[in-house]
Amino acid sequence: MTGFWAELPPGRVANLVGVSSEAVALALEPLPADAPAVLTCHAMGTRLSVHGAVAAVLDQMERAALDLYPAWLPGAEAIDGPGGAGVHAVRALATAKASATPHFGPFLADLATRSIGGRSGSERFSAEVRAAGLARVVADSFDRSHVALLMQVDGQLPAPAERAIVAGSEWLAHHGRLVVWLTGADLWANDRVPSVLVRLPEQVASLVDADATEAIRTPESATLRYPAVAGRPHPASKAEQTLEVALAATSWATGRIWNQTFQTDQLTNPIRVDLMWQAEKCAVEIDGAEHRGVLHYEADRRRDVQLQLAGFNVLRFTNAQTLADIGAVLSQIEQLITLRRLREDGHAR
């Protein structure tokens, strides 16, 4: 699978053959240095018009962009609050960035303002402006040149629905300078979308079971997903955000790092760990509903073994568990951190 994305430039739609979006997303986790930023979603509603379906995707991209702030606006980390001074400061910062980049200044300034204050919609901008602006913002969040929209198409669609999805994808690719990857179904009703055979890397291909390759369908899996930003709790994870707030109020949680890529040794593949205390060799994973999918579940077990062989203890909590009983989650993490520190102190003596 190495570098297949280089053959699919921005502004194009392609049908990835023989793979599901779940498998492709796993193969791109952690995101390779030369790959685009990847947004994963299910196909736009087949009962919507092309216009309505595109608008639904843009709305989800906008929510992602708002949540990713300030990753796409360097310098904004120090600006606090939605008050007048904060609004003026982020607008000035966004305007300055736009003057030196391809960003459209009014759109970027509006998005920055709404990121720290009210989040009412951006009706003043056309769909074309939103598509281009949001794609640039998401790409900037991950320091990438462009964005790939990885879209799962479930089953064999009726010809009108397939044509609507293809037309909407082509619109997004053209106006947002995205590359759109359609997976999960053969597109038989049109000949405009090229098919690309993707060969999965061995560590992912070995997970794929021909009889069960799809994730369990849940409301959460139907939303647009995107990678975490290194060094921060995932912006879309209420559980990670809640845990960080709780950890920040403790004295023992120093040394933690969020969503960093880690390689246990030179012979193993790098992995991304939700939360880690590297000195204490403690890893904490916060699992959403997508981790109940067949491929995710098996990949998680292999990641845990890889970390354990490198001397790490691994704790796993679900989103629901973290949100329902943060005290218990904190207590278990503290017990592990304390135990590892005492053990290290004993060895030091």
Q: Flag whether pLDDT at 147 surpasses 60.
A: yes
Question: Which run of H or E residues covers position 183?
Answer: strand 179-183
The neighbour count for residue 7, using CB atoms within 10 Å, is 10
> What pLDDT score was predicted for residue 102?
95
From the number of C-beta atoms within 10 Å of its C-beta (0-12, 13-18, 19+), residue 191 rates as exposed
Rounding to the nearest 10 degrees, give the CA dihedral for residues 216, 64, 169, 174.
-160
Nearest partner of 333 among 344, 321, 347, judged by Cα: 321
Looking up tokens 């921060």 gives 232
Among the residue ranges 40-54, 171-185, 205-219, the one predicted with the least confidence is 205-219
Q: Which residues pair with 272 in a beta bridge?
A: 261
pLDDT tens, residue by residue, 304-347: 999 999 999 999 999 999 999 999 999 999 999 999 999 877 76
The proportion of the chain whose per-residue pLDDT surpasses 90, expressed as a percent, equals: 56
Q: Flag whether pLDDT at 122 surpasses 90.
A: no
CB 174 within 8 A of CB 12: no
Among the residue ranges 105-114, 150-159, 277-286, the one predicted with the least confidence is 150-159
Q: DSSP secondary-structure letter at 17?
A: E
> What SS3 class is residue 271?
strand
For the chain, residues classed under CATH 3.40.960.10 are 238-348
Nearest partner of 277 among 257, 249, 251, judged by Cα: 257
What fold does the segment set 238-348 form as a domain?
Endonuclease; Chain A (3.40.960)
pLDDT tens, residue by residue, 59-115: 999 999 999 999 999 999 888 666 567 888 999 999 999 999 999 999 999 999 999
Nearest partner of 130 among 40, 56, 67, judged by Cα: 56
* Residues 6 or more apart whose Cβ sits within 8 Å of residue 186: 15, 17, 156
The neighbour count for residue 291, using CB atoms within 10 Å, is 18
Q: Flag whether pLDDT at 165 surpasses 50.
A: yes
